[in-house]
Amino acid sequence: MLTLPPEIIHHVLSFLSPDSSLAPYARVNKQWQMLVEKITFSSLHLIPARLPDLLRFVSASSRRRSYVRKIELLAILPEYSIPARGGVETADEQRRNDESFTRAIHSLLDILSSWPDNCHLTLRIFARSPSDLNGEPDMAKRKKRLLYKRRGNDLLDLRYHHSYLRLSALEHTLPSVRAIVHLVVIGDISYSDYRRIAPAAVSGIISCLPRLRTVNGVLCDNERNMMERRSLRDEFGISLTQWPASIQHLHLKYRGDPPANENRPPPRLSEKGTDALCLALNHLSQQLVTVELKDITIGTELFWPSDAALVSPPRWPHLTHFTVVYGSATTCGQWLFDRDPRSKVKNYEHERPYEDLAEDWPDPRVPAEQDYPVDLFRTKPAPVLSELYRSAGLAAQQMPLLQQMVLVAQVRASRLECPETTAVPQAEHWFRYLRTSNLAQWVGFSEFHPTEEVLDTWRDVGKSHGLEQMKFENMGFVSCPSLLIRDYGDIDFLDEYKTEENGYTLWDEA
**Please, are residues 172 and 104 in contact by the beta-carbon 8 Å criterion?**
no
In contact, 273 and 282? CB cutoff 8 Å: no
Query: Rounded to two decimals, what is the model's pTM?
Result: 0.92
Of 263 and 361, the structure prediction assigns the larger pLDDT to 263
Q: Residues near 24 by Cβ (< 8 Å), separated by ≥ 6?
A: none
Band (429; pLDDT cuts 50, 70, 90): very high
* Cα distance between residue 219 and residue 295, in whole Å: 10
The answer to whether residue 15 scores a pLDDT higher than 60 is no
- Choice among 151-155, 238-242, 368-372 with the minimum mean pLDDT: 151-155
Question: How do residues 438-474 score in pLDDT, each as one tens digit?
Answer: 999 999 999 999 999 999 999 999 999 999 899 999 9
Which pLDDT value is given to residue 425?
76
Mean per-residue pLDDT over the chain, rounded:
90
Query: Taking residues 265-282, what's their average pLDDT?
Result: 97
Which range, of 15-19, 339-343, 354-358, 494-498, averages the lowest pLDDT? 15-19
**How confident is the model at residue 9, as a pLDDT?**
62
Report d(CA 396, CA 174) in Å as an integer.
Answer: 38
CATH 1.20.1280 fits 1-40, yes or no: yes
Range from 202-216, 451-465, 495-509 carrying the lowest mean pLDDT: 495-509
User: Please, are residues 369 and 354 in contact by the beta-carbon 8 Å criterion?
Assistant: yes
Q: Where are the domains of the chain?
A: 1-40
Segment among 37-46, 201-210, 268-277 with least mean pLDDT: 37-46
Q: CA 1, CA 394: separation in Å to the nearest integer?
A: 65
Mean pLDDT of 203-227: 97
Query: Over pLDDT 70: what percentage of the chain?
Result: 89
The pLDDT of residue 502 is above 50: yes
Could you read off the pLDDT of 312-344 as tens digits, one per residue? Answer: 889 999 999 999 999 999 999 999 999 998 888
Q: Which range (226-230, 424-428, 438-442, 455-459) has the least confidence?
A: 424-428
- State residue 121 phi and psi, 5-degree precision: -85, 150
Question: What pLDDT does residue 362 have?
Answer: 64
Nearest by Cα to 399 from 357, 460, 346: 460
Distance CA 409, CA 329 (A): 10
Closest listed residue to residue 329, CA positions, set 390, 264, 266, 279: 266
Q: Which of 95-104, 289-298, 434-443, 498-507 has the lowest mean pLDDT?
A: 498-507
Mean pLDDT over residues 255-263, rounded? 96
Name the residue with higher pLDDT: 125 or 412.
Answer: 125
Residue 1 has pLDDT above 50, yes or no: no
Is residue 11 predicted with pLDDT exceeding 90? no
3-class secondary-structure state, position 111: helix
Residues 343-391 have pLDDT tens digits of: 888 888 788 888 887 776 667 788 899 999 999 999 999 999 999 999 9
Lowest mean pLDDT among 34-48, 86-100, 134-148: 34-48
